[in-house]
A = this chain, B = another copy of it.
Amino acid sequence: MDSTATSPAIDETHAPGRTSWVAGASNHGDFPVQNLPLGIFSPPGGTPRPGTAIGDHILDLAMLADLLPPDVGPALAQTTLNSLFALPRAARLALRRRLSSLLSDDRHRGAVEPALRRADACELHLPAAIGDYSDFYVGIHHATNVGTLFRPDNPLLPNYKHVPIGYHGRASSVRPSGVPVVRPNGQRKAPDAAEPAFGPSQRIDYELELGVWIGPGNALGTPIPIASAADHIAGFCLLNDWSARDFQAWEYQPLGPFLAKNFQTTISPWVVTAEALAPFRRAQPARPAGDPRPLPYLWDEADQQAGALDLELEVSLLTGKMRAAGAPPHRLSCGPASNMYWTVAQIVAHHASGGCNLSPGDLLGTGTISAPDREGFGSLLEITRGGSDPVTLPNGEIRRFVEDGDEVLLSARARRDGHVAIGFGACRAMLLPALHFGAAGQI
């Protein structure tokens, strides 16, 4: 087995001494020259096209195609990254190396500078046309916390430590950072109510997740062995799996969450590539003593050695009152991404193990990543214990769940001594009031 399949190599593109000639692309922001995330943007008055973030700028890759490896050229002429994701990892790596050189070597400045746009003047789009979106449940502390609320007698089900539990989500309602979320209407039934009622959700929550972008796919009927799972992973993003907890509790049995989760999912639009994260790979934490060893199709020693990421995840809240007062967002939680019971390679191998075909541009969510303690819980459901233990914000407001006008902000930062830290960019969205449904069920 080629161990690089599991763990992309650290090379000169990660060198801490490498800096960019682009003004403002210092080593302190999310997008130093060590990152080079890929995305789809529109410049002012222009159409969507591939770009890479560098400091406060976006490099227009289509404009620069003549200077880039010829095998990525056709993919750069597209309005989504699906074609780029479909290329073998070697092609993405060659693109990264070339971009790193173009943006760090001052001799290229004259040729490259005309293709730079100020990021704040551009619009960011979804990076890919998402064929299918699947969501997992790898945050074992989250699974335990939520299980305790939904099934006090039976928080962690017997399959959890054997099966990387996942389900299919809604691809059509995934939106990039910045697109507001309308509070959904739906059915809910309080435990003590005789009948369900229809109306605006009263328990809107966020869920802090990592998103995984699928690169090259597999043919229907042909599994992906875990040792080559990394060849199928193009990159990562942040993902807020907005959830209506009241709808979820009423609808989820026996077929799982549906309307509780499909009204919108917010992602950070930059794809932080697997290659960019190479320096931040670390061993997957050992399973607690007594936990079962995963079945062979889910077990790969190299993946265990490098299948986790040194990544800090954070959630902040900005209420309407705070915004009006010019206050900064308030941090609700912070914790490491290593609180995943299953690695990304394990969820990819599991997903395809029965022959299900993944395609370039498919999106996987990890499920909510919570730390063991309240400071690192990845949802309000957990932080407020189902609303019974509210959060008091610095301005005295209290929150059980997300309220209209609140903005939820996720962020991620990969850090390790001796390496330049990189970030994921913004993943934020504001909750807007529900539409009014009339008594006759009309809008």
A residues adjacent to B (C-beta < 8 A): 131-132, 134-135, 137, 147, 150-151, 157, 159, 162-163, 165-173, 175, 182, 184-187, 189, 195-198, 201, 220-223, 225-227, 244, 247, 250-259, 262-264, 292, 295-300, 349-351, 353-359, 362, 435, 437, 439-443
* The residue from B253, B262, B441 contacting A299, defined by CB atoms under 8 A apart: B441
Interface centre among A150, A184, A251 (most CB of B within 10 A): A251
B358 touches A263 (CB 8 A): no
- Apart from A173-B220, A300-B441, what 15 extra A-B contacts exist at CB < 8 Å? A132-B170, A151-B254, A168-B262, A172-B220, A173-B356, A175-B220, A185-B223, A198-B295, A227-B442, A252-B256, A256-B256, A262-B354, A262-B356, A296-B439, A296-B440
B225 touches A441 (CB 8 A): yes
Secondary structure type dominating chain A contacts = loop
Find the B residue at minimum CB distance from A438.
B296
A195 touches B292 (CB 8 A): yes
A253 touches B182 (CB 8 A): no
* CA distance in complex: A292, B198 (Å): 14
Closest-CB distance, A443 to chain B (whole angstroms): 6
**Residues on the B chain within 8 Å of A163, using CB:** 187, 196, 250-251
Closest-CB distance, A136 to chain B (whole angstroms): 9
Find the B residue at minimum CB distance from A298.
B441
**Residues on the B chain within 8 Å of A351, using CB:** 259
A159 touches B250 (CB 8 A): yes
